[in-house]
Amino acid sequence: MVTKGTKSLQLPIHRLFPKFIDRILKMYEEAKPKKKLTPNQAIIKAQMTCAYQERCQQEMRDKLYEWGMHSNEVENIIANLITDNFLNEERFAKAFAGGKFRIKKWGRVKIKIELKKRKISDYCIRKGLQEIDEDDYIKALQELIAKKLKDYPKGKQQVKNYKVAQYAMSRGFEGDLVWEIVKKVSG
């Protein structure tokens, strides 16, 4: 019960402090011991996870450890997934690179960094980046730069160009290509 002046309000505690209650519930869920899967259950769950969406070996390795598997079991399950063609690093790299470019309009640099974080080999990264058509890549960069230049209607052209170029490079596009297109579009 909360009192305000002479009136008393009858409000449930979760209405007064919703974020606090959510935080406590989350901490409670994390503190509960997780049920360990048997190796057969883990294989089935891993196969369903890989069938739903392309995964890399490191993502599956992390999930298996999260499910309570030990290192020798994890490596056996990973080997099993590879032989059954549920895991394929090259296929993952192609899907990842193509998807991030088409959907999020990421550049090659950012895609390459993200694939490296996932411990994908250089060969697979090169194969994945080949999925991006050069004409589509340049067209996407031109559209990004033209759209961003419209966001800065006033000010010095040099400052606008610099801001737009910095933005495009933060999206993962190569610096020399960015500056070449900025000069074409703004000039």
Q: Which of 17-26, 50-59, 92-101, 150-159 has the lowest mean pLDDT?
A: 17-26
pLDDT number for residue 174 = 95
pLDDT number for residue 58 = 94
At residue 2, the 3 state secondary structure works out as strand
* pLDDT tens-digit readout, 34-49: 678 888 999 999 999 9
153 shares a domain with 113: no
Locus of tokens 């020798």:
72
The two structure tokens encoding residue 132? 């991006």
174 shares a domain with 153: yes
* pLDDT tens-digit readout, 60-74: 999 999 888 898 999
pLDDT number for residue 93 = 96
186 shares a domain with 152: yes
* pLDDT tens-digit readout, 89-132: 999 999 999 999 999 999 999 999 999 999 999 999 999 999 99
30 band by pLDDT with thresholds 50, 70 and 90: low
| % the chain with pLDDT above 70 | 84
Cβ-contact 172, 111 below 8 angstroms? yes
- Rounded CA-CA distance 120/89 in Å is 7
4 band by pLDDT with thresholds 50, 70 and 90: low
Domain of 59 in residue numbering reads as 39-87
Average pLDDT on 146-152 reads: 88
Q: Within 10 A of 98 (CB to CB), how many other CB atoms are there? A: 17
- Rounded CA-CA distance 54/95 in Å is 7
156 band by pLDDT with thresholds 50, 70 and 90: confident
Locus of tokens 């007064």:
16
Does pLDDT of 149 surpass 90? no
Locus of tokens 């933060």:
170
User: What secondary structure does DSSP assign to 29-96, as a single string?
Assistant: HHHSPPPPPPHHHHHHHHHHHHHHS---HHHHHHHHHHTT--HHHHHHHHHHHHHTTS--HHHHHHHH
62 shares a domain with 77: yes
Query: Into how many domains does the chain fold?
Result: 4
171 band by pLDDT with thresholds 50, 70 and 90: very high
154 shares a domain with 170: yes
pLDDT number for residue 38 = 87
Q: What is the DSSP letter of 130?
A: T
Which residues are CB-neighbours of 180 under 8 A, at least 6 positions away?
none
Does pLDDT of 142 surpass 70? yes
